[in-house]
Structure 1
């Protein structure tokens, strides 16, 4: 028996990086998983590959194309998961975006794009998952992806930092409100993780003059990591599977830092 055997989970931002790793680790631990992402074609390939490696459990992974800012689309995704697997036990609000801009150059469009996905998308995901869990009457777990940027601001990614501070506040607010329904709300805060998103950030920082060569940004951001290296998605999934499992049932309202000691709070 795995740590999350029989649990039905949704992971947004599941087409790549941390989200894909979270979903695959949940499958390995016995869960049924919906990989959800704005890129429907790519996330369908992820679910197909996941099912192919499950052997006798093929069919425990599914995919959904969803814009987390669209409440109707989120409702439809959850309804599809319930139709397929019968319930929803765990919802990871992991979808996130970043688009670095120098502080004085941040525009309303930049702010609204990042806050829309990372902030509003988290709120909608929490609300709609909670409504389904309340209707089931058996509690559940909501898990949000924060960031090391939720603990301190960085000059070239101010809207991203603000959006991840919002995730922390939403986690605490949701935990207070949903406890009476047996729903826990937690989160985790990665530091520098070698993913496709960081590759994009690296290119964007060079484009705005904040870095002069490939890899410079990651080197500078990770210079103070006590573990002495950047993380891989596999460094994150032990904690995320724990948060989805019964082992964390007495935790709520908390954000777990997984940054290798980059920020001590």
Structure 2
């Protein structure tokens, strides 16, 4: 029997790669993202269909609790079940500590923290309704394990995700729902590094590009993270080999925190 996974922020980047990996694992996929991302989502859906799995686009704003519940209901109704929820949607705000504004905090926390909580709530309720031993997989970051300069807002949201993951794992264990998280290092194929490099240059005076080069030099495995690395971890956590794992957050960073 085919299983169903919903991935938020799935129209591009890490979410799209996770969607492709889970489709290769035999899941039908609900590609969930903001309504304006439907065109990009259709490209991901086409790739999934070529793999031989079903896929639909589910519009959702993860900061809206009712909308997240509706999206989970839609995914389960249209795909005929619900087994895995990947709370991948997130944002990264880069600012010097003195420059953090209330609007920055509200924006980041609503997506990175509230969105994860709403996703856990909606998925767990659906798993319990269907009597399914579901999996919930949340997006944290190594910045949530060890805060980085100019990442105070982002780091604190991702630290919150680790705590939320542990609590939810405890509370939903009686329903045989596993809750885990992945914590990527800096992903080399996104534009995030350019913004970090610029802000770090303002702080320490190093030329643009040098901070990135210095950081990569500290990674034992010698490169930044690729979406494929993260998708491999999500695939493991969604699969049968992770049956007895819950409440854990796994760094995917090439040893960068060592």
Name the TM-score, length of structure 2 as normaliser.
0.92
Shift of 1:202: 1.4
Say if 1:174 and 1:192 are closer, same or farther in 2 by CA, change over 3 A.
Answer: same
- 1:125-204 map, 5 Å: 125-196=119-190, 199-203=191-195
Equivalent residue of 1:231, what SS?
coil
Shift of 1:9: 0.3
Unmatched tracts of structure 2, length 5 or more: none
Q: Whole-Å Cα distance in 1 between the matches of residues 94 and 194 of structure 2?
A: 9
Say if 1:229 and 1:108 are closer, same or farther in 2 by CA, change over 3 A.
Answer: same
CA deviation digits over 1:112-170, x for unaligned, max 9?
11111001110010011101011111220000111110111112010100000000000
Aligned residues: 255
CA deviation digits over 1:74-128, x for unaligned, max 9?
1121111111111110000011101211011111111111111001110010011
- 1:38-53 map, 5 Å: 38=34, 39-53=36-50
* 2:96 is the counterpart of 1:102: yes
CA deviation digits over 1:50-78, x for unaligned, max 9?
24522xx25x1111221101112111211
Q: Whole-Å Cα distance in 2 between the matches of residues 167 and 230 of structure 1?
A: 22
Shift of 1:200: 4.0
Name the TM-score, length of structure 1 as normaliser.
0.90
Q: Whole-Å Cα distance in 2 between the matches of residues 149 and 165 of structure 1?
A: 7
| Among candidates 198, 201, 208, match of residue 206 of structure 1 | 198
Q: Whole-Å Cα distance in 1 between the matches of residues 43 and 206 of structure 2?
A: 34
Q: Whole-Å Cα distance in 2 between the matches of residues 93 and 129 of structure 1?
A: 10
C-alpha RMSD over aligned residues: 1.9
Contact persistence 1:36–1:43 (CA under 8 A): no
Runs of 4+ in 1 over 6 A off after TM superposition: none
